[in-house]
Amino acid sequence: MILNSKTKISELAKEYPFIIDFMPTLSPEYKKLQNPIIRRTMGAVATMEKVASIGELELDYLLNSVADEIERQTGKRPEVDLGGPTGTVSAPEPAATPAAAPAAAPAAAPMSQEERKAALSAILRDLHAGGDTEELKTRFAETIADITPSELAAVEQSLIEDGLPEEEVKNFCTLHVEVFKEGLDKGDVPSMPGGHPLHTYMMENRAAENIVAELDTAVCELGDPPDADAFEARKASLMANLENLGQLNTHYTRKENQLFPTLEQHGITGPTQVMWAVHDDIRAAMKDAVSKTESGSAQEAVSAINEVNVAIKDMIYKEEHILFPMSLESLTEADWVWVRKGEEDIGYAWVMPSTGWEPEEPVKAYDSGDMTTTSYVNLDTGALSLEQINLMLKHLPMDITYVDDNDQVAYFSATDDRIFPRSPGIIGRQVSKCHPPKSVHIVERIVKAFKSGERDVAEFWLERGGVFVHIRYFAVRDDEGTYKGTIEVSQDLTELRKLEGEQRLLDWE
């Protein structure tokens, strides 16, 4: 093997497996290579040039260090190609002659990670300040030329931490992708085995793309401007596709409740909240498209459908070129097992997970003890076993969520027909991260009022698809009045609201 800038880390590890354990001695950044998922995905496309950049090392130092280790382990040193106009193999420099041409100017040293981050941040700040998109794309190509999903996410998060509102980052995130698209396109879309959460997400994306393609074709066939009679003839088909597209809500809900909280445990918070806000925009756009197609004009319906289609395709690109690769870099095998374990509580869009993924690490602990224990918990007015407590809470005709005095979700009742989806991924999550960004301020206001003693109850009611839902929040205090947390209770009151008169006898016939 000849080591050069284009050698892939996966090829190197296949021939010399010991290199994976050696790499972290050169830079702590290389510990990620010990994750088998990253080796199978990112490692398959990462060249030594890219690896040097990630570890903030000079390429020649990296190549020679690897060659030294191979020689130490095997007794045979591979050839090292340090590059150059013809890609020549490193060798002793020839003696200079009087006729020798002037030496070429030394190549600029590669940018460090901090320098790259500063340059990327400057480009995004100029974009938010109204800079020209094409000019910034050129600047990016000239100074950096490539970008990893993790770098973009880190820069977006740093902008939020520096005071840039999440709403503004959300409004500009499509432009972020446009500016950096050429660099993002150089990255490989993750390819995971069947059953892995990312594989399921991407199967759902392919299903969504098929529906979007059908809608695009139908809209094009209506003409420009759309023919009113043709629109009426196709209305039923358009409505069926839009209603089918509504399953995408489950895809987004699974991300919000399983993938996002796991990323947050690794310090990735800003990008997830921004993406959640975009989910809500797409949900609103889908509802608008259904409404306009059902009762609006042909032009209104076509405009609304086009808006949905563009937004969904943009989100698929952001998932597969930014979110998913970044997640693979950040999460461990145990994290992915945890994500997968809670997905069935929410469900899937159009497809079911296939088989093939065999996790190499055990699932993260989540059990609160053996629920079949015969030990009892003494309560104020009796004693119940852990199993009885769990069963009682699961059988109450309402959804319950408990948030502790540190504002972390400590429990939710796993009822069979929850009104609002919950999954184990929210346990231990800050309650402010468990709600769409547009409603976080309401949640924070309620908790603040409960903690101060200003309020004890907050309630809301709404209708969803003909179901009347009553939502109440209760402050929990001990006997001394100290705040201990908040209970959220959601209940379907649709049938109860219909009751009239009295029923004093058992009616089981």
pLDDT (tens, 9 = 90+) of the chain, 509 residues, equals 788 888 888 788 888 888 888 888 888 778 777 665 555 555 555 788 878 877 788 888 888 889 888 988 888 998 888 764 333 344 334 444 444 444 444 444 555 666 666 776 777 677 767 777 777 667 666 666 566 666 666 766 776 677 766 676 666 566 556 655 665 566 566 778 899 999 999 999 999 999 999 999 999 999 989 999 999 999 999 999 999 999 999 999 999 989 999 998 888 888 888 889 889 999 999 999 999 999 999 999 999 999 999 999 989 988 988 889 889 888 988 899 989 988 888 999 999 999 988 886 555 544 445 555 567 888 888 888 888 888 899 889 999 999 999 999 999 988 878 888 788 888 888 888 888 888 888 989 999 999 999 999 999 999 987 899 999 999 999 989 999 999 999 999 999 999 988 887 888 87
pLDDT for position 213? 94
- Count of beta carbons in the 10 Å neighbourhood of residue 365: 8
Distance CA 292, CA 311 (A): 17
Distance CA 491, CA 501 (A): 22
Q: Of 263, 423, 272, whose CA–CA distance to 332 is shortest?
A: 263
Q: Are strands 2-3 and 79-80 parallel, antiparallel or unpaired?
A: parallel
Contact 20, 13 (CB under 8 A): yes
Question: For residue 179, what are its two tokens?
Answer: 């500016």
Task: Write down how long the chain is.
Answer: 509
Whether the bond into 225 is cis, omega within 30 of 0? yes
pLDDT for position 88? 39
Contact 5, 47 (CB under 8 A): yes
- Count of beta carbons in the 10 Å neighbourhood of residue 468: 16
Q: What are phi and psi of 488, to 5 degrees?
A: -105, 125
Question: For the domain 197-343, what is the CATH superfamily, name and number?
Answer: nmb1532 protein domain like (1.20.120.520)
Q: What are phi and psi of 285, to 5 degrees?
A: -65, -35
Residue-wise DSSP of 104-155: PPPPPPPPPHHHHHHHHHHHHHHHHTT--HHHHHHHHHHHT----HHHHHHH
Q: How far is CA 232 from CA 235, 241, 297, 507, in A?
A: 5, 15, 9, 48
Distance CA 148, CA 89 (A): 29
Q: Are strands 376-379 and 382-385 parallel, antiparallel or unpaired?
A: antiparallel
In the chain, domain spans: 2-80, 113-185, 197-343, 396-498
Q: How far is CA 215 from CA 250, 296, 328, in A?
A: 20, 17, 32
Query: Given this structure, which CATH class describes domain 2-80?
Result: mainly alpha
pLDDT for position 189? 67
Q: Of 294, 305, 303, whose CA–CA distance to 225 is shortest?
A: 303
pLDDT for position 371? 55
Does the pTM surpass 0.75? The reply is no
Vertex 390 angle, CA 471 and 383, to 5°:
110
pLDDT for position 318? 87
Residue-wise DSSP of 372-385: T---EEEETTEEEE
Q: Of 138, 226, 121, whose CA–CA distance to 182 is shortest?
A: 138
Distance CA 442, CA 438 (A): 9
Distance CA 312, CA 349 (A): 14
Distance CA 125, CA 32 (A): 30
pLDDT for position 140? 62
The torsion of the CA quartet 16, 21, 23, 27, rounded to 10 degrees, works out to 180
Question: For the domain 396-498, what is the CATH superfamily, name and number?
Answer: PAS domain (3.30.450.20)
Distance CA 392, CA 382 (A): 14
